[in-house]
């Protein structure tokens, strides 16, 4: 789509949004963080530039935020503290640094994430808290520092340890993916896949053709730990710990290592925890505990992809004669 058509679509969507009720406009402030044009562009891209569909998607998202009190989610710690720690330690998500262009780099330990310490809604709340902290705190700080709108992030997905038993986590992963697709569209600029075992490569061949072209272009499967390729876009200090040298692997046993961006000792997690704690005290909401967020209905196209992944995992399990699929990793 040409620049003129893009501008016209943004203007039309902005006019439609200007007609909505005040509560929706108020929560939109937390979504765009002083960059409304970039936010409207994200929703338009997610709906292939159909203005009416982008409007419906945005209004659904704003209503979801109001109904689930998302604007106050950074004021509600996941309680008790040991549960918070367990969730973070099994979720394996962290901010490792920034690209040379100032884009935040998030590391995700897909292969070693276990999601076995709490219910789905606790993990979903934790995930949304990280999203909101990224959008309300990290991205605005980056935008201010670099003097331009920065509204996206980079994600490096570590597939170390991925097994067919990951199928047991599909419910949580699907819930998180649905929340992101419908309420945080186009927030990830690029996905880098590293330390990919056979099981991922086999599934990727099947799933890749099902993805929309704009999504396929975002996904880059790198060789090994991906260090050399990633160093082209970020400094060594911003590399996730599992990419810093060839042959290095994620480890849940290194939770006390401050260089491990999954560790609760890492500055990102310390700052996030203390920010939520401080907000809760300021709002005197800390006794109210966690939220129970309603998970939106999954997009039919995404549901098909999940079915394909499940079928491929099942096929690989039958070929290997092992429910854990250890043989060809």
pLDDT by residue, tens only, the chain of 329 residues: 778 889 999 999 999 999 999 999 999 999 999 999 999 999 999 999 999 999 999 999 999 999 999 999 998 877 677 888 899 999 999 999 999 999 999 999 999 999 988 888 899 999 999 999 999 999 999 999 999 999 999 999 999 999 888 888 888 999 999 999 999 999 999 999 999 999 999 899 999 999 989 999 999 999 999 999 999 999 999 999 999 875 544 444 444 466 899 999 999 999 999 998 888 887 764 445 566 788 888 888 888 888 888 888 888 877 776 544 444 44
Taking each helix axis from N to C end, the angle separating 120-133 and 170-183, rounded to the nearest 10 degrees, works out to 40
The pLDDT, as a whole number, for residue 83 is: 87
Q: Look up residue 31 and give its two tokens.
A: 């979504």
Q: For position 296, what pLDDT does the model report?
A: 84
* Cα dihedral 17, 22, 24, 28 sign: positive
- Per the DSSP assignment, residues forming a β-bridge with 98 are 104
CB 257 within 8 A of CB 241: yes
Angle (CA) 115-121-124 rounded to 5° is 70
Residue 145's Cβ-count burial label (10 Å; 0-12, 13-18, 19+) is exposed
Rounded distance, CA 99 to CA 243, Å?
A: 14
Residue pair 125/174 in contact (Cβ under 8 Å)? The answer is no
Cβ neighbors of 271 (< 8 A, separation 6 or more) are none
pLDDT of residue 165: 82
Nearest to 31 by CA among 82, 20, 238: 20
C-alpha gyration radius of the chain:
20
Tell me which residue of 258, 229, 247 sits closest to 94, measured CA to CA.
258
| Domains located in the chain, CATH noted | 3-67 (1.10.8), 74-281 (3.40.525.10)
Q: What is the pLDDT of residue 258?
A: 67
pLDDT reported for residue 300: 82
DSSP 63-118: HHHHHTTGGGGGG---SSHHHHHHHHHHH-EEEEEEBTTS-EEEEE-TTT----SS
pTM, 2 dp: 0.90
Q: What is the pLDDT of residue 97?
A: 96
Q: Are 126 and 78 in contact (CB under 8 A)?
A: yes
């Amino acid at each position: 789509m040409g620049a003129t058509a893009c501008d016209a679509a943004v203007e039309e969507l902005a006019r439609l949004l200007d007609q909505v009720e005040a509560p929706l406009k108020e929560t939109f402030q937390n979504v765009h963080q002083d960059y409304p044009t970039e936010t409207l562009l994200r929703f338009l891209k997610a709906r292939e530039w159909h203005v009416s569909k982008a409007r419906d998607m945005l209004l659904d998202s704003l209503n979801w935020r109001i109904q689930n009190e998302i604007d106050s989610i950074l004021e509600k710690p996941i309680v008790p503290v040991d549960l918070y720690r367990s969730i973070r330690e099994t979720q394996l998500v962290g901010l490792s640094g920034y690209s040379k262009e100032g884009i935040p780099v998030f590391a995700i330990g897909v292969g070693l994430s276990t999601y076995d310490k709490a219910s789905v809604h606790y993990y979903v709340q934790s995930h949304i808290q990280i999203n909101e902290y990224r959008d309300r705190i990290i991205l605005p700080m980056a935008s201010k520092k670099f003097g331009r709108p920065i509204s996206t992030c980079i994600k490096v997905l570590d597939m170390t340890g991925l097994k067919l038993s990951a199928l047991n986590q599909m419910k949580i992963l699907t819930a998180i993916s649905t929340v992101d697709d419908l309420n945080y569209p186009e927030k990830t600029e690029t996905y880098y896949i590293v330390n990919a075992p056979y099981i991922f490569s086999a599934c990727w061949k099947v799933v890749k053709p099902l993805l929309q072209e704009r999504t396929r272009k975002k996904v880059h499967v790198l060789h090994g730990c991906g260090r050399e390729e990633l160093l082209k876009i970020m400094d060594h200090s911003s590399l996730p710990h599992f990419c810093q040298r060839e042959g290095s692997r994620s480890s849940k046993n290194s939770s006390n290592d401050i260089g491990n961006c999954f560790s609760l000792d890492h500055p990102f997690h310390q700052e996030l925890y203390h920010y939520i704690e401080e907000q809760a005290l300021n709002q005197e909401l800390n006794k109210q505990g966690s939220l129970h967020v309603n998970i939106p209905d999954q997009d039919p196209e995404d549901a098909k992809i999940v079915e394909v992944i499940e079928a491929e995992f099942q096929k690989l399990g039958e070929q290997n004669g092992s429910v854990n699929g250890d043989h060809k990793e």
